[in-house]
Structure 1
Amino acid sequence: MTEKQELEYEKDTFAQEKFYADETLELSEEDEVENSKIEAVRLVVPITDDPTLPAITFRFWVLSLFFGIIGSVITQFYYYRVAVGYFSIYFVNLASYVLGTGMAKILPKGQVTIGTYSMSLNPGPFNIKEHCLIGIAVSTASSSAYAIDILSATDLFLSHRINAFGSIVLIITTQCLGYGMAGTLRKYLVYPAEMVWWGNLVQVVFYNAIHNTDEFKTKKMIRGWSYMKYFWVFCGGAFIWEFLPQFLAPMFNFFSWICWIKPLDMNMWGIFSTLSGGGVLGLSFDWTSIGGNTMWLPLASQLCNYGGVILGYWIILPIMWVMNTWEIKRFQYPLTPTLFYGNGSVFHVQDYLNPDYSLDEELYESGPPAMMTPMYALGFFYSFVSLAGCIIHVICFNGKDIMKSWKMAVGSKEDDIHNKLMKVYPEVPQLWYAVFYIIMLGLSIMVCEVYDLQLTWWGMIVAGILGWALTIPIGAMTAITGFGPGLNVITELVCGYMLPGKPIANMTFKCYGYMASYQCMTLLADLKLGIYMKIPPRAMFISQFWGTIVGGVFNYVTMIAIINSQREVLTSLQGDPAGLWTGANPKIFWGSAQIYGALGPQRMFSSDGNYGFVFYGFLVGAIIPIFLWALSKKWPNVKWQNFNVAIIAGGMGAYPNGYITGVVGSVIVAFIWQFWLFRYHKNWWSKYTFILSAALDTGAAFTGLFIFIFLSGGVSEKLVVNAPSWWANYIAFDPNYNALANGGYLGIDRCGSTGLWESGNPYQ
């Protein structure tokens, strides 16, 4: 049998087999051959359902609360860490499966009643739908709420801490405002088959594998292993390996091998350091720097993204650094969000603020102006290119699909097979979403007024309108390609013109405007997962909101604990010599607030100033997609839509904090999986890719969790264990963080100098 025949045989079998033999929703003869028009979806998503399975159960409430707390704490911990890590949902899936199965065996069959609400303690075997809902609730909780940036920045750089109640209301409203939008936009960004939301496919494979559904019972892996045995073997291997780059040898995460030729030369450091410079040809042996999504995201999207990174940081940055363009070397670091004076000394906006944290314009105008580093200014230019490029690209290349979705929403009979299977479940009424949105908007206005966040009620309304207007094009691009720009820069620009001289208002407007769109897309992605997994929509809504509440509360608790213990390191310009803690995220957020809020875009981006060019990014981003669209009409056989300027520009501005790691490894993995295997060994790709991605991501996440709890003081300060000092971890653990803490080198990647440079610095 040929490879093509084998693929057709597997697809036919996949469509005909039953999903839980006795309680399966029967498909008509016509539906047995119907499947999704998207090839990757056809290969991995079952087209069967059992609508009798319970979804919201007692086990759901207990396990989602337990893992939601753990996930929100771990993710907030990584927000302040140098190594980019995350709390893997696959860990939750595995652990909750074990606990859920155990609860199904030992819990009594009785009822638990709260008021008029009653549910069974043990409704039967732990099933795939309640398992999926636990994962969705925990994934919602296991994120660092964007409002944490506001709270961290005001606490660290203004010594202004909002009380616990106000902070938690701020976090929850910024997270929930976008949920109301999802009710309207689901018809355009969820129901169409083209809206894949690629990350969901890994989840579908994992849940079906762990529950050993009928489709997966017949599939055997290498050496006859089951899906889960294959998973555990590679998960365990990744867990063991990750102790090297994450703990024993952090140099393996920042492997700046070319820089070692002349490590104390400023030009070499600025170009090749992965910790502080452009990271040209730098290597990373940490899987968290590569990520499993490189194995399944569309290749064209990944090439655009990494092509942007290479263009911005491997070509443009080295040229500017060597040529000292705009005196880039005067500002100490090539990539930093810190503002400076013209002589290279650090600018502190606190010196120019009134008691209410607004700008004292007379005092500021009497002194030298603040300046950005050249690469930071270019980052704003790239952001404007990306946003404009996203909108115009979607209009040019996806406008017909969006109009088709609109026609479907108003009554067309054409529908995706997975949507047809969802017809048995009652939808969430539009009224639910509308009421929810109004309540969250009211609470948002209240928290801004009561806690003096400088944002007026009408400013809050404008933030909401901006989120509504831009979510469709950004959401469509994200669903189709796996990449999409955020609204963070455009929101702070709009507020900078509306409310100049008010940095806290700018951060707040940015958070609400950006998060309304982001959280809307998060819910839309989960709604798509619900369609793939045949989850009742109302259960999905409850799961999302529950996760948001749990995550918001424990995000705040973790933030307070870390700021209280690491304040000096987080606010330092030099950072942590041990290479563990960083205040880069709140610094970037606060740097933007100074530029757009305190000083205002009128000053920073005036046409006669140094940075007026950034607004041309809108023009560049708008023109290029139109040009590509015109070429597609002239030469329709060329896939011009794959040249996505929004994704390219996003890659060019992706690393304002300077941690350019994992590029080489990510490109290699992307070519192997998405070019060679997907094109020439599709059966192998469909069988192994998603489960292997989940295994490696989970193993790496397990390592991070173990290090956090048992080696980094996550449970108790008595459990802090320092890794040995050796050539791949050359740190003398100095509690005073003096210049010799890293053996005289500027960073853990053994590049740069804490003292005098050998050459390359024109200002020493």
Structure 2
Amino acid sequence: MGVHEINGSRDELAKCSTTGSPPSSSSLTDLAEKKTAHTTTTEVDADEAVFEHLENELAQYGVNEDQYEEVKRLANSYTLEDTRARIVKIVQIHEHDPNFQHALIEKFKAFLTNMDIDAHPEDHTVLIREVKIEVALITYNSPYAQVRAVVANVDDPMMPSSTVRAWFIGLSFAVLLAFVNQLFSIRQPAIMIGGNIVQILAYPLGTAAARILPDWGVTIRGSRVSLNPGPFSRKEHMLITIMATVGGAAPFTSLIIWTQYLPQFFNQRYAGRFAYQILIGLGTNFIGYGLAGVCRRFLVYPSYCVWPTSLVTIALNTAFHSNTPVRHRGPFGKLVTMSRLRFFFLAFCCMFAYFWLPNVIFQALSIFNWISWISPNNVRLNSVVGFNNGLGLNPWPTFDWNNILHFGSDPLMLPFFTTLNKFAGSFFSLFIILGLWYSNAFNSSYLPLNSNRVFDHFGKLYNVSQAVDADGLFDSAKYEAYSPAFLSAGNINIYIFSFAIYTATLAYAILYQWHEIKLGFSEFYNSMFHPRRSRDRGRYEDVHNRLMGAYKEVPEWWFAAILVLAIICGIAGVAFWPTHTSPGVVFYGIALCIIFIVPIGVIRAMTGIEVSLGILAEFIGGSLVPGNQLAMNYMKAYGMVTASHALSFTNDLKLAHYVKIPPRQTFAVQMTATLVSTFVCTAVLNFQMNNIPGVCTMDAPNRFTCPWVNSFFTASVLWGTIGPRKIFGIAGQYSMLLLGFPLGLAIALAFWTVKRRFPHHSWLRQVHPVVLLSGAIHWAPYNLSYIWPAVPFAYLSWQYFKKKWPGLWSEYNFVLSSALSSGIAVAGLVIFFAIQWPGIQIKWWGNTVSYQGCENKLDTCRLQYLEKGEYFGPRFGEFH
């Protein structure tokens, strides 16, 4: 967390972290039992007062009874000098942290500037006690209530994790997920199996193995390795989940191979060679690991890197393995005693049953575009309120939780400020899109309002084959005889704010997180050149780093070796086949990733929002090597995808960090699962390419039409072959959009200036410029209907329930998030194979009303239309 241990209290903290104090005699459970046993009114009233006082104390600090006793004991050991020194560090790190309580920062600042406290401490006894408890809580546990809610601040180093049964179950799931996810990734709609389903299935398998397997084993280097080391542990469970999640991710390079190999795309037959496929697959996958190792000191060790998505995974893990009795005050003063596991399965079953209603039986509840039903063919009405093809301005557009979860925007998982900022950015950019369309800026009135497709100057979808030669390289003569590329108003908005978000991200990191980034570089330098000094994690003294200090860390050179080997694989894949691409593109992509990985990583770790480098990689790659789509695709793979992989792997490292899995065991399962997954996915890819007739065409069986591959092909030709110079260059029709780069810098500086001018306005700390911009690019083809419904749920969870019933919120909020997501995932699988795969359709008004008029006719509902033979934009001969 960054708070130094002072005056030799490290041993005291270690004792607090690894042991538990005996339960308080005035615990909530005891008091509740006494209340029912007593018959005297006076005694009942007295116990009621004590009961409510203790409950309020626990609610205020977000801890249980035993933890509260430890915090008070630790606080009593602090001197006033110790307390001040700790507060200085806390304020330095968390002053601009939107997850940290603003009121507490203000309280700490007032404490530091009040010199009367030192002169007359006897006059400030209550304040000193409160501040010491707050400081002790941050040191003893996490500074954040949401982390304290699901992550234990104790550890048992003897608990098994890397066991034979965990490896067998984990690798089995990794192979299964790699096979299924790769096989159905080209289907419309696709089907994916995620980590939550693995957690649910792994638990009965692990517990069955613990009951059935014999205790056979061998002793290796003084440690006994047994088939059955005892009860199935939470660490084994999480290790299996990490292994399966890593293995379930198909290599991004499969998209490159699809577009290279198939005859309807570039027909480069060498792309069917297994060695080529494996080399570029291993290159992109393992470069991410090398960078994840470097990022540990920036994105794993610091406590302000919360990683909200990890908390849901841990909540489900805790639900399966926690036996702690539950007793929390709920609505109407009732005590809630339901266990997390029982609550999970209750919510899971409810969502599983409900999901069939909006997705099979009454689909209008999923796309509840009820305003469009008033006048389905009214272009102006549907442009604003339409769910499918409009901007989605609707008071309540869906009753489908899956739509609310779109792109990981879980309102129960992400902090409220993240959800609200994202909505605000989308809402304000809505008017920019309308302004572009209604003013016919960039000829956008001739195109659909909110499409992510690319069009020609006839208003038709851009036919890339009319601008390239037989080898897929740019053909100037054919291009000049055909058309420039045109974007819809929604897509124009995306590019403006996508350019802005990159400069805003770098500016935000420097303005708000420079101290922490500098600290991470210092620790990385020490780990490379002063290993003994780096072993002292005094600068990261939150409880989880102290507990992880019991395990050997992965040496930096391990990650460095992985990075070097991955680069060699990437270079070999580019150099040994006729790719017409310099191996230097691997280093260009890595350079882009290195520049952005820490800033976007910090933002994702704090807010749950990931800034994709996709558009920037396309822009730079297409500019560096114009006319060569394959070079641009490699740039995207080694820039954008490497960054995305690095952050995913870092997220897994944080998961292991929270659950206290030894780092070297996490490293081993990540490496092994990725290696196995790459080979499995590549084998499945070859089977698909050579055994599915008409694959990636409209005639493909079982809907293997490859929607993502077709979109990838269009993007690769547009930005790689035609190139961004012709679109965004000096003579390009969209050169004005490059003003997005300085706009992002201006936005970040403006908010930073305002926050410094008004430091006591708590709501300003909740304004996050990068998250605002992430909402502004959440368009084409998506819209406000996917964002707004999350806001009320986020408010109820994080602002209402968390404050009114903090114990109840801590116990169930993240479990509920996991249960709802898992119910949707399992129901989706069943619906896919039971309804969609056989082609069963339920046709009635409730399943068709959402697709009437402009909500179904993307190509016809436009603001302006061309007469026969007309075209818009530059005249023939004026573009080249």
Q: How high is the TM-score relative to the length of structure 2?
A: 0.76
**Equivalent position of 1:739 in the other structure:** none
Going from structure 1 to structure 2, the CA distance change for 1:190 and 1:55 (only over 3 Å counts) comes to same
* Match runs of 1:289-300 below 5 Å: 289-291=403-405, 293-300=410-417
Measured after TM superposition, the shift of residue 75 of structure 1 is 4.3
Which of the numbers 674, 681, 686 marks the counterpart of 2:798?
674
1:503 aligns with 2:605: no
Going from structure 1 to structure 2, the CA distance change for 1:691 and 1:149 (only over 3 Å counts) comes to same
Going from structure 1 to structure 2, the CA distance change for 1:347 and 1:197 (only over 3 Å counts) comes to same
1:224 aligns with 2:337: yes
Aligned residue for 1:384, secondary structure, equals helix
**Equivalent position of 1:623 in the other structure:** 746
Which of the numbers 488, 493, 499 marks the counterpart of 1:378?
493
- The structure with the larger Rg is 2
Amino acid at match of 1:224: T
Deviations 1:153-179 (A, max 9, x none): 444643556326233443332122111
**Equivalent position of 2:149 in the other structure:** 43
Contact 2:455 2:487 survives alignment (8 Å): yes
**Equivalent position of 1:736 in the other structure:** none
**Equivalent position of 2:58 in the other structure:** 6
Report how many aligned residue pairs link the two structures: 726
Going from structure 1 to structure 2, the CA distance change for 1:253 and 1:494 (only over 3 Å counts) comes to same
Q: Distance in 2 between matches of 1:680 and 1:625?
A: 34
Contact 1:352 1:364 survives alignment (8 Å): yes
1:489 aligns with 2:615: yes
* Match runs of 1:52-451 below 5 Å: 52-73=158-179, 75-76=181-182, 79=185, 86-111=192-217, 119-154=225-260, 155=262, 157-160=265-268, 162-163=271-272, 165=274, 166-214=276-324, 224-281=337-394, 283-291=397-405, 293-312=410-429, 314-331=430-447, 333-407=448-522, 410=526, 411=533, 413-414=538-539, 415-451=541-577
Going from structure 1 to structure 2, the CA distance change for 1:85 and 1:303 (only over 3 Å counts) comes to farther
Q: Distance in 1 between matches of 2:767 and 2:615?
A: 23
Contact 1:297 1:481 survives alignment (8 Å): yes
Contact 1:128 1:211 survives alignment (8 Å): yes
Which of the numbers 585, 593, 608 marks the counterpart of 2:708?
585
**Equivalent position of 2:811 in the other structure:** 687
Amino acid at match of 2:589: A
Q: Distance in 2 between matches of 1:704 and 1:583?
A: 19
Q: Distance in 1 between matches of 2:150 and 2:772?
A: 29
Going from structure 1 to structure 2, the CA distance change for 1:17 and 1:695 (only over 3 Å counts) comes to farther
Aligned residue for 1:122, secondary structure, equals coil
Deviations 1:188-224 (A, max 9, x none): 221111111111122222212211254x667799753
Measured after TM superposition, the shift of residue 584 of structure 1 is 5.0
Contact 2:179 2:681 survives alignment (8 Å): yes
Contact 1:150 1:507 survives alignment (8 Å): yes
* Match runs of 1:610-649 below 5 Å: 610-639=733-762, 640-649=764-773
**Equivalent position of 1:537 in the other structure:** 663
Moved more, 529-538 or 371-380: 371-380
Aligned residue for 1:293, secondary structure, equals coil
Moved more, 682-691 or 288-297: 288-297
Moved more, 279-288 or 536-545: 279-288
Q: Distance in 2 between matches of 1:634 and 1:308?
A: 23
Q: Distance in 2 between matches of 1:17 and 1:396?
A: 39
Measured after TM superposition, the shift of residue 385 of structure 1 is 0.7
Deviations 1:19-46 (A, max 9, x none): xxxxxxxxx9999971222332233321
Measured after TM superposition, the shift of residue 756 of structure 1 is 10
Measured after TM superposition, the shift of residue 588 of structure 1 is 4.0
Q: Distance in 1 between matches of 2:792 and 2:689?
A: 38
Contact 1:84 1:288 survives alignment (8 Å): no
Q: Distance in 1 between matches of 2:193 and 2:580?
A: 34
Q: Distance in 1 between matches of 2:384 and 2:189?
A: 20
**Equivalent position of 1:723 in the other structure:** 841
Amino acid at match of 2:786: G
Measured after TM superposition, the shift of residue 668 of structure 1 is 1.8
Contact 1:264 1:753 survives alignment (8 Å): no
Q: Distance in 2 between matches of 1:481 and 1:302?
A: 9
Amino acid at match of 2:510: I
**Equivalent position of 2:786 in the other structure:** 662
Going from structure 1 to structure 2, the CA distance change for 1:595 and 1:226 (only over 3 Å counts) comes to same
Amino acid at match of 2:755: S
Going from structure 1 to structure 2, the CA distance change for 1:132 and 1:759 (only over 3 Å counts) comes to closer
Contact 2:272 2:686 survives alignment (8 Å): no
Contact 1:274 1:749 survives alignment (8 Å): no
Going from structure 1 to structure 2, the CA distance change for 1:280 and 1:10 (only over 3 Å counts) comes to closer
Contact 2:629 2:716 survives alignment (8 Å): yes
Moved more, 225-234 or 263-272: 263-272
Contact 1:334 1:375 survives alignment (8 Å): yes
Contact 2:366 2:400 survives alignment (8 Å): yes
Measured after TM superposition, the shift of residue 660 of structure 1 is 5.9
Q: Distance in 2 between matches of 1:271 and 1:763?
A: 22
Measured after TM superposition, the shift of residue 554 of structure 1 is 4.8
- Gaps in structure 2 of 5+ consecutive residues: 1-51, 71-75, 79-135, 527-532, 868-880
**Equivalent position of 2:720 in the other structure:** 597
- Gaps in structure 1 of 5+ consecutive residues: 19-27, 714-719, 731-744
Q: Distance in 1 between matches of 2:361 and 2:302?
A: 47
Going from structure 1 to structure 2, the CA distance change for 1:263 and 1:81 (only over 3 Å counts) comes to farther
Q: Distance in 2 between matches of 1:652 and 1:555?
A: 35
Q: Distance in 1 between matches of 2:247 and 2:166?
A: 14
Going from structure 1 to structure 2, the CA distance change for 1:729 and 1:167 (only over 3 Å counts) comes to farther
Amino acid at match of 1:341: D
Contact 1:265 1:760 survives alignment (8 Å): no
Measured after TM superposition, the shift of residue 657 of structure 1 is 3.6
Measured after TM superposition, the shift of residue 235 of structure 1 is 0.2
Q: Distance in 2 between matches of 1:7 and 1:757?
A: 57
Measured after TM superposition, the shift of residue 262 of structure 1 is 1.6
Q: Distance in 1 between matches of 2:723 and 2:502?
A: 20
Aligned residue for 2:554, secondary structure, equals coil
Measured after TM superposition, the shift of residue 722 of structure 1 is 0.5
Instruction: Supply the RMSD in Å over aligned alpha carbons.
Output: 3.5
Q: Distance in 2 between matches of 1:370 and 1:464?
A: 29
Q: How high is the TM-score relative to the length of structure 1?
A: 0.86
Q: Distance in 1 between matches of 2:861 and 2:199?
A: 52
Q: Distance in 2 between matches of 1:327 and 1:707?
A: 42
Measured after TM superposition, the shift of residue 391 of structure 1 is 0.9
Amino acid at match of 1:425: Y
